[in-house]
Structure 1
């Protein structure tokens, strides 16, 4: 019991000292308040012909004289000093504890820890992540541990599942990928996020739809645009950063295959049975949203991927204004490659093949300069029963020939993006992926400073 009390006392002391750390934006206002109190008292004293000051000095002198007569000054001084510090720390902890109970009574996070975390996140880099599908939401859920300045630019070309039904029947932009990104960046209670992601498993007309898709579609109808609906949803979910559609146009994808076939629709492209040669969209050259262009212009780091190459990543590069903004940016640009190939979409493609597909798509738009010259790829994956299962389904690990890519001028970084824990799927681990991205950013920043 005594050991527990000692640990609790040490923990409280450390938390009290934590308030002295820079960047919490608390001490300056406490100092301002204290200064204001002193000035107010001085003003009152001057108004009263300085008599209160004389009385106070006389009272202090008498009190100190009495104390030093009872106890020697060598003992009295340290005792009074310790008493003052103790009262200060106790009053401080009780005050901020009361503030925390008023603002967030059900949260276990100590206020000083929350302020320290917020201060650290506010100092994080401005990151723009471009993509769609589960790959982008996985990346975002990891990155929100490092920065609060995150912008997710999301494709709106989805025409399958719940999003496709709502798009056809209500005429709204597909909300599915946007919903996943909002949930990934949410800092609100887990129950609210689970509600947003909840998918109805029964009910006439409701089966297969997620609550978040219906919520965003309803808000789009009420507010008049998906962009406004996203802003409102971001406030509800306390989103850390912002989610922006790549365009507000009703984009429909098409693709030309190697066998000469032309297919239309994102869901059909994902099931192509012949290699994709060229992609496009209707309407051609859809406009980008100003918020997306502004985020790219002020970005410290621009990311593309992970995600389905032809249905989640390249559709964003069909928006010419986004491509131009990325070209103009001086921020490092990193392409994050998938762990596994996707049957019917990227069969047989290694990392170099993915990059060639991106460059070919950009070339069809008249972009000759390489857009992403840095690559993050998975380290070689060891043989396992899980990998054998994926091979039966037609998927293979995406091979990274780092030496060849470096000879072609790419900056290549490989890392264990799957994570160290055994999983039931071969997908990116949010924490491992975000850690590798931040290592890349810090290395690039350090190299630029040393240059």
Structure 2
């Protein structure tokens, strides 16, 4: 038992020592000054008490410092400088630690300090999308920076979100909920709670607890965005989640056969190839914070997610695309790993890029991140993995890597959040490293979720 306790304690000590060596933590300088101060005090005490040390470094100091003064004066000078140094170090440490607000109730102090200091000074990243792809990306990025803003589509009209939208007149909370959970410090238990669905014969049947939770906060705050903000504070998320618009928008699709599909659910379930997409109203106002996040970002990312129902609806908001084109950020499109039934069957990575540029503008993307691991086994829906047509004939940069999540045997048609975030971080370092930098060390701080 004692051996196990010693091993656990020593491991914890090594972790803290490693933590103190991380660049950007802003503690090493004060610890160094404090160590010098304590050393000076020690030397001063040796001088003042005339302790014999033999032919050592102390003897050398005796011969070169205040040689003609009494040992007491010499000791007092060293002690004085040591006290000043130790005091400055103490004040610096207190101020440095005092600037860290205990924003997370789930992480120990040192980990919370790392999130606030290191991740808090990371690049500003704005991610545009929705559906299940966006949370997967956020889950990986939050280990590199906490300056994340998720701009999320609010065109959903199906399931629990659609029912709350029609019954309460609020924006659909489902995609917002998924992003909040992905950015939370303690993700597993939050995921179970927020995704819990009621099963009953009454009106709660099929509703997600997380959706009702957000709806309640919206009712208390009186505003959808304020409700989402409060939810983020309660979940201690690393970043922000913002609806792309506060307008009650409806997605409308036109198929190549001439059929008009009203609502995201009908658009997503259509087996006919889409010709165009619009929103009702046609010119919704973007959320001001979403525009500000795009304009101020170091990197703007679009996707991953369902191309026509999670990504394009955000690009149909004129002020969002205008901000995207005017932003000086590094603009990245993350291509899906597999085709979608009826929507993107037969699409290559370049076809996805062309759709994004059709709605966002020709200068909307600087780099594409695409998967190049094409397993032999089929996807769960028997669809093909998206391929990269070679040679890559486009001015937009291409980064290809193994991005497939092969740990989940029930679904191999999605990104691995760790692989994806690593590929994005390396691309940013390579092409835009002169801006704010990602930390060189990736620490997994999810308490309930083991790193992949």
TM normalised by structure 1 equals 0.77
Picking from 360, 367, 371, the partner of 1:374 is 367
Larger Rg: 1
Q: Output aligned runs, 1:25-424, within 5 Å.
A: 25-26=26-27, 64-65=49-50, 68=51, 72=53, 109=108, 111-188=109-186, 190-362=188-360, 367=361, 369-384=362-377, 387=378, 389-391=380-382, 395-403=383-391, 406-419=392-405, 421=407, 423-424=409-410
String of CA shifts for 1:397-439, please: whole Å, max 9, x gaps: 1121141xx3232211111111454632121111111111111
Q: How many residues align?
A: 394
Distance 1:352 1:147 in 2: 29
Preserved CA contact (<8 Å) 1:155 1:312: yes
Shift of 1:253: 0.8
Paired residue secondary structure (2:278): strand
Partner of 1:429: 416
Shift of 1:114: 4.3
For structure 1, which runs of at least 5 residues remain unmatched after alignment?
35-58, 79-83
Flag the structure with higher helix content.
Answer: 1
For structure 2, which runs of at least 5 residues remain unmatched after alignment?
36-43, 60-81, 437-452
Q: Per the alignment, do residues 74 and 115 of structure 1 end up closer, same or farther by CA in structure 2, a change over 3 Å counting?
A: farther
Paired residue secondary structure (1:390): coil
Q: Per the alignment, do residues 159 and 113 of structure 1 end up closer, same or farther by CA in structure 2, a change over 3 Å counting?
A: closer
Shift of 1:276: 0.6
Q: Per the alignment, do residues 73 and 64 of structure 1 end up closer, same or farther by CA in structure 2, a change over 3 Å counting?
A: farther
RMSD: 3.8
TM normalised by structure 2 equals 0.77
Distance 1:210 1:334 in 2: 32
Shift of 1:12: 2.9
Paired residue secondary structure (1:297): helix
Preserved CA contact (<8 Å) 1:136 1:307: yes
Shift of 1:31: 9.9
Shift of 1:215: 1.1
Distance 1:19 1:380 in 2: 38
Shift of 1:390: 3.1
Q: Per the alignment, do residues 221 and 172 of structure 1 end up closer, same or farther by CA in structure 2, a change over 3 Å counting?
A: same
